[in-house]
């Protein structure tokens, strides 16, 4: 039992470290919105953006209260998943099943760290185009340099900044399109979402549970 617990905990810690190392590298080495960098040819690339919503770019409103509600939801989900994982461990379930739950747990924590702490760790520029967020009701006045040494000001709505109000760093994208002969979706991207390592952990964990469910909970013979 102790060995099983150690395996799961070490797996979670290692995956969290990988997630945060990738995100910090992206934050300090790339510029939001710049031309994607090929990783595996043109079909899999690095494309740095900051996501104000949930996994795979799913948004949940733009006001401060929407952001706060999303972060609170993440905390509740993490607490529930952690409790469930512990209760299943006490029941003596298979290690693979605990790792599957741990993957989901890891992904949720990884994205929560971004929204909770990154605004304090990294410099926030409210006048950066990529920090503008229509509907946030958070207005700032920005000064811009014009031609011949002139300057002008503009007012923008920008995202809220602070504990539990930050964005999530995303960077991976599949650049694969449907064949032109496919009706309605021809030549559009098959999976346009930009995602991160934490999202991949959540997806793998859910996939393992769905695919391997019978292995984790074999039916008792009559």
C-alpha to C-alpha distances, 23 to 48, 135, 198, nearest whole angstrom: 9, 27, 10
C-alpha to C-alpha distances, 189 to 175, 178, 194, nearest whole angstrom: 7, 6, 12
| Judgement on whether residues 75 and 183 belong to the same structural domain of the protein | yes
Which of 114, 119, 199, 222 is an active site residue? 199
| Judgement on whether residues 154 and 208 belong to the same structural domain of the protein | no
Could you confirm whether 19 is annotated as catalytic?
no
* Closest to 204 (Cα-Cα) out of 75, 99, 76, 70: 99
Higher pLDDT, 77 or 34: 77
Q: Is the pTM of this model over 0.95?
A: no
Domain region containing 196: 2-124+161-216
In a domain, 222, yes or no: no
Which of 114, 119, 170, 222 is an active site residue? 170
pLDDT digits (tens, 9 = 90+) for 150-164: 888 888 888 878 888
Percent of the chain topping pLDDT 90: 46
Domain final residue, candidates 160, 187, 205: 160
| Judgement on whether residues 107 and 167 belong to the same structural domain of the protein | yes
pLDDT at residue 17 is higher than 90: yes
User: For residue 112, what pLDDT band results from cuts at 50, 70 and 90?
Assistant: very high
| Judgement on whether residues 30 and 139 belong to the same structural domain of the protein | no
Distance of CA 83 to the CA centre of its chain: 22
pLDDT at residue 222 is higher than 60: no
In a domain, 137, yes or no: yes
* Closest to 108 (Cα-Cα) out of 203, 221, 44, 176: 203
In a domain, 98, yes or no: yes
Could you confirm whether 222 is annotated as catalytic?
no
- Would you say 26 and 19 are in contact if contact means Cβ atoms under 8 Å apart? no
User: For residue 59, what pLDDT band results from cuts at 50, 70 and 90?
Assistant: low
User: Can you give the pLDDT at residue 187?
Assistant: 81
Quote the number of domains for the chain: 2
pLDDT at residue 86 is higher than 90: yes
pLDDT at residue 221 is higher than 70: no
């Amino acid at each position: 039992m102790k060995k099983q617990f150690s395996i799961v905990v070490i797996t979670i810690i290692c995956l969290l470290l990988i997630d945060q190392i990738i995100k910090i590298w992206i934050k300090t080495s790339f510029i939001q919105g710049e031309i994607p960098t090929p990783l595996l040819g043109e079909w899999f690339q690095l494309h740095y953006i900051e996501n104000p919503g949930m996994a795979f770019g799913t948004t949940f409103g733009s006001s401060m209260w929407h952001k706060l509600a999303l972060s609170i939801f993440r905390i509740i989900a993490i607490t529930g998943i952690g409790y469930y994982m512990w209760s299943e461990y006490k029941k003596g379930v298979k290690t693979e099943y605990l790792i599957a739950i741990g993957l989901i747990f890891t992904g949720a924590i990884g994205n929560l760290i971004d929204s909770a702490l990154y605004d304090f760790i990294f410099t926030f520029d409210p006048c950066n185009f990529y920090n503008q967020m229509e509907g946030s009701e958070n207005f700032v006045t920005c000064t811009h340099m014009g031609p011949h040494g002139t300057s002008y000001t503009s007012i923008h709505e920008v995202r809220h900044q602070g504990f539990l109000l930050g964005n999530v760093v995303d960077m991976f994208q599949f650049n694969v399109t449907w064949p032109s002969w496919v009706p309605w979706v021809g030549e559009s991207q098959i999976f346009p979402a930009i995602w991160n390592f934490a999202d991949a952990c959540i997806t793998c964990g859910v996939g393992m549970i769905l695919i391997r469910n019978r292995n984790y909970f074999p039916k008792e013979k009559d």
